[in-house]
Amino acid sequence: MSSPLFDMAPEQWALLRRLLDEALELPAPERAGWLANLPEEHAALRPRLENLLAHADDDETQQPTRSADGVTRTSTRFGSLPKLAPLDEPPPPLPPDAGPYRAIRLLGEGGMGRVWLAERTDGLLQGRPVALKLPHAPWRHPQLAERMAHEREILAVLDHPNIARIYDAGVTAEGQPFLALEYVEGERLDHHVLRLGLDTRQRIALFLQVTAAVAHAHARLVVHRDLKPGNILVTPQGQVRLLDFGIAKLLAADPAHAELTAPAQRAMTPQYAAPEQILGQPIGTAADIYSLGVVLYELLTGVLPYQPRRASAAALEDTIVSTAPARPSQRAMDVPTRRALQGDLDTVLLKALKKDPAERYATVQAFADDLRRWLDHRPVTAQPDSSWYHARKFIQRNRLGVGLAAGFVLSLGAALGVALWQANVARAQAAKASAITDFLVGVFKANDIEQAGGQAKREQSVQQLLEQSAVMLSTTGLSEQPGVRVELQRVVGGLLNDLEILDAAIRVRQARVSDLKRQQAPRSQQVLALRELGESLRENSDWESARARLNEANQLCHDGGLDDSLACLGVVLDLGRVDYAERKVDAALGRVEPLISALQHHPEAVDDLAGSQELLALLRMLRNQPDAAHAAFEQALQLRQAQWGEGSVRLADMRYRFGRHLWTMRRLVQAESALRTAWQTTSSALGRDHVSSLRIELWLGRLQSTVGLSNEGMAHLQGAYKSMLSKADRLDPSELYQSRSALANALVLDGRLVEAKTALEDATAQRQRLGSRAGTDPTLDLTEARWLLDTGRFAESRALLLKLRDATAAQLGGQHPYVADRYLRLAQTDLASGDLHAAETDLKAALATEDAVETVFGTPKHRAQLLQVVLWIEQGRIGDAVEQADKLGRLAEATPRAEQYRDSFLQLNETIARALSAAGKTAEAIPYFERFIGTLAPANAQHPWLAAVRAHYALALIAHGQTGEARRQADLARNALAAQPAVGPQFWRPVKAVEAQLARSAPS
């Protein structure tokens, strides 16, 4: 039964807490008089206060403490946090196993429960310790399990290197809720900075990792609501990890979750809580911004922003709500810190600590951006704008230059030289500016209304103007100003490349390379120009030309002794990217691993270091090393977040690539979240019809339709494809090919064989036109093999799959999971054609490969084991089939979100149903058949696979005595197959079998 306290309104709860704290400050004999004299407006709370104070009298522990005003008082368990057990007390007994987790030792204890270091007993997380949260028995009210499940849902959408991951959640048979989280070995943020003696700049740099984690959560509509140093750990490697989303709120949550996070049940730490939390008002992201302000205030000054006169929770809350905090510089412990805080940091922190949420920073990213501005000696947005302020920040950024200028002024002779030099520079700059002006005026004059086609030219877009300027630069533009010409070529070429107008970008960048050669420009400039040209060629899928230009740049680096320069290290990175595109994995790894070490010695090389980590992640995936790949991608994403900011379109593009990587890792929820966030950011910034938005939407739809995450998947996929098709003349042909291939794949998986044939033919023709520029992605070939199988062309399907198997094995090694996938598809073809011996051989080969994530249901090997069950049924090995089907079913149940891999989930239900049915357990089989049908029928009622399963279901119904429903299912199956004349004979076999059975059982 839940406590009556949980039935109170938020404002009553807040008042009750304040009154209780006030009473607890009094000696016990005086409390009865205090209750009797309670004002009339508080009379309704008197019975509850009397009850609470009676418990306090029984449970008080007389522990003397000294308050802020110097008075020694006794502390009660009502007004203090739980204490750690004294060292001489025995440790608490280990709890019983919670599901598959066994506790090892106690890590910590709070008001709601304990956190234990634990291990998993079933071997799924072998060697990986977890932090196991177990609530105390009194907290196990009916809503707690739901609250912990809600925490699991929240953490499932968060995937960030600075946020501790969730592994599992559940309730034991004894009713014990549990939550298994990533175990983070580290120390509290405040303890860490004190132990190392970090200065102000170092503390802020570390704190920016915290803001990156919170910004990631806010971008997914999650508010932490309990940010404090105790929930922020720093690992021995200096990596911040944010913990404890136990009271986090999902802003997009449905009303069913509202009561789990209601203010009346407010769990928070008052010292770090925002005023709106204290008052029980609605909570948004601004509350986390406030708490971050408190954490940083304490981190920089050593004290909290508020010092109430009385040492009670009520006094503290009153102070937070009504009193402005002191300027941090006034509270700092030492003179250097005080000086560092004065001015900008004072203003930044006080803005984060505004009482009114609307007056704080609008986002965590805006708060973090101001901190970065302070680190870079740039003006912060929190300061009022003024000329003197900007001038002062300029001087701070350029102390050396300003100091040298002052020194020159002191020397008349030097000053005269500077004046003459400045005059020359001024003349050169004036000529340069004039040349640029003339060029730009020429671009616009060409669009004058009086010119031929003037009206159309007036309506030209920025893109068209850029393309026109590219033409002018490639011919006679600025021929009298070669220095200005190459500089404008760099700018225009970069803009064209960013807008993905690649043909024009290549022309401009080729002209720039030629001009620099003619001018005999320094090697370093030529290297950069060649690298830029290589970038455009690579993005245009012209790998051969890109490699040639990059090799030319590499030779310039060697000849000039520039190998360790940033430009030349960047050339190595781009050569590795070309290696990856051509699947030369060993060559790419040989470049990128030493490159990362070299780049780490260049603090300014953030861009290429992040690019190298991302390339390493892609290569690790090809080498079947998903954990190492994921770690590298997280490093790259963290570097990019710090470089670009959370709302950046470029960061969204990287998040799109990360989403594809997560999909490969079978982290489906995180993959969809990453792709959806990337799509929303890009669409908001560039518009839904921009090619970058369409590209991400295409992959979002592809993920959703392929794995069954959402019924909107096909709509996203087809909508994006149609829009891309309308821009075919402006799209990179390889991009259009990829979109056609993706659509064909989705149509085949959805059983739309006639539509899929057209898409396959279009994609195949496009690939032939592209030649080597089409790349090496096998999706189209695998799609064609599946289409050939489903249409009954078994020999052709098998021949294509053998070719793919051999190519994959040669490229990635015979033990790679992709090779297992090829064997699995071969076995499907064997079974469909009735060749059981070949199917057995191919399945054994699939099961002999390696897979680094076999603990997650849905791998090629698990699908091969499911197919093995079908083979054993055909061979009459019913006992083996039932045993293996049951084992796989239990593995799927233990895998979070296993049902979201639609094909694997459907295959699992069909396989279990058929195994049970073959064993004569038709009553147990029927629910599995019904689950399959209920999942696939809404997506495509005419799917051939659905028709075949309806026929198997009908056979089970006949055995169970439900002949009428069996006949209806058989009719649905026949009608579906009749509507698809291209389907193969394997789908008709079970339909004909059930019709024959029904004919035999019909009355004569």
Burial of 137 (0-12, 13-18, 19+ CB in 10 A): exposed
Name 911's Cβ contacts closer than 8 Å, sequence gap at least 6: 866, 869, 870, 885, 888
Under the banding of pLDDT at 50, 70 and 90, the label for residue 458 is: very low
Give the pLDDT confidence of 390-412 residue by residue, as tens digits: 444 443 444 444 443 344 333 33
74-78, 107-111, 348-352, 877-881: lowest mean pLDDT where?
74-78
pLDDT of 970 reads 95
Q: Give the burial string for 871-896 (b: 16+ CB within 10 Å, else e).
A: bbbeeebbebbbebbeebbebbebbb
Under the banding of pLDDT at 50, 70 and 90, the label for residue 686 is: confident
Q: What is the mean pLDDT of the chain?
A: 77
Under the banding of pLDDT at 50, 70 and 90, the label for residue 445 is: very low
- Tell me what the mean pLDDT of segment 983-1003 comes to: 91
What CATH class has 101-182? alpha beta
Instruction: Work out the end-to-end distance of the chain between its first and last CA atoms, rounded to an integer number of angstroms.
Output: 64
pLDDT of 478 reads 52
Under the banding of pLDDT at 50, 70 and 90, the label for residue 943 is: very high
If we measure between CA atoms, which residue out of 49, 57, 39, 50 comes closest to residue 17?
49
pLDDT of 876 reads 94
pTM as predicted:
0.48
Q: Which two tokens stand for residue 412?
A: 């008349």
Percentage of the chain exceeding pLDDT 70:
74
- Tell me what the mean pLDDT of segment 37-55 comes to: 74
Helix axes 944-959, 985-1001, angle to 10 degrees: 30
d(CA 506, CA 495): 12
Under the banding of pLDDT at 50, 70 and 90, the label for residue 913 is: very high
Per the annotation, the verdict on 515 as an active-site residue is no
**Does position 13 have pLDDT exceeding 70, yes or no?**
no
- Tell me what the mean pLDDT of segment 668-691 comes to: 86
Which one has a higher pLDDT value, 2 or 360?
360
Q: How many CA atoms lie within 13 A of 863 on its CB side?
A: 23
Say how many C-beta atoms besides its own lie within 10 A of residue 660's C-beta: 18
Distances (CA, A) of 183 to 34, 92, 514: 48, 20, 57
**Does position 414 have pLDDT exceeding 50, yes or no?**
no
If we measure between CA atoms, which residue out of 334, 19, 91 comes closest to residue 200?
334
Tally the residues of the chain. 1004
Say how many C-beta atoms besides its own lie within 10 A of residue 149's C-beta: 17
- Tell me what the mean pLDDT of segment 548-576 comes to: 91
d(CA 618, CA 614): 6
- Most confidently predicted of 23-32, 469-478, 922-931: 922-931
Q: Across-strand partners of 521?
A: none
Give the pLDDT confidence of 267-309 residue by residue, as tens digits: 578 889 998 888 888 788 889 999 999 999 999 998 899 876 5
The response to whether 445 counts as a known ligand-binding position is no
The CATH fold assigned to 187-387 is: Transferase(Phosphotransferase); domain 1 (1.10.510)
DSSP collapsed to 3 states, 740-757: HHHHHHHHHHCCCHHHHH
**Does position 413 have pLDDT exceeding 50, yes or no?**
no
Q: Which two tokens stand for residue 448?
A: 């004058």
If we measure between CA atoms, which residue out of 365, 348, 368 comes closest to residue 216?
365
**Does position 90 have pLDDT exceeding 70, yes or no?**
no
Q: Across-strand partners of 187?
A: 234
Under the banding of pLDDT at 50, 70 and 90, the label for residue 171 is: confident
Catalytic residue among 159, 190, 226, 244: 226
362-371, 417-426, 681-690, 772-781: lowest mean pLDDT where?
417-426
635-649, 682-696, 985-999: lowest mean pLDDT where?
635-649
453-462, 529-538, 791-800, 981-990: lowest mean pLDDT where?
453-462
- Tell me what the mean pLDDT of segment 509-532 comes to: 90
pLDDT of 306 reads 85
Contact 319, 275 (CB under 8 A): no
Which DSSP category does 362 fall into? S
115 three-class SS? strand
d(CA 273, CA 283): 11
- Most confidently predicted of 27-31, 85-89, 157-161, 926-930: 926-930
Distances (CA, A) of 230 to 79, 90, 295, 452, 476: 19, 25, 10, 71, 66
- Tell me what the mean pLDDT of segment 670-694 comes to: 87
744-753, 854-863, 939-948: lowest mean pLDDT where?
854-863
Q: Which two tokens stand for residue 866?
A: 């499911």
d(CA 335, CA 330): 10
pLDDT of 74 reads 36
Which one has a higher pLDDT value, 148 or 773?
773
d(CA 420, CA 671): 61
pLDDT of 841 reads 95
Contact 955, 992 (CB under 8 A): no
Give the containing element (helix H, strand E) for 656.
helix 649-664
Residue 798: what are its φ and ψ, rounded to 5°?
A: -65, -40
Say how many C-beta atoms besides its own lie within 10 A of residue 838's C-beta: 16
The per-residue DSSP string of 892-959 comes to HHHSTTGGGSHHHHHHHHHHHHHHHHHTT-HHHHHHHHHHHHHHHTTT-TT-HHHHHHHHHHHHHHHH
**Does position 465 have pLDDT exceeding 70, yes or no?**
no
pLDDT of 590 reads 92
Give the pLDDT confidence of 563-590 residue by residue, as tens digits: 888 889 999 999 999 999 888 989 999 9
Residue ranges per structural domain of the chain: 4-75, 101-182, 187-387
Q: Do domains 101-182 and 187-387 have the same CATH topology?
A: no
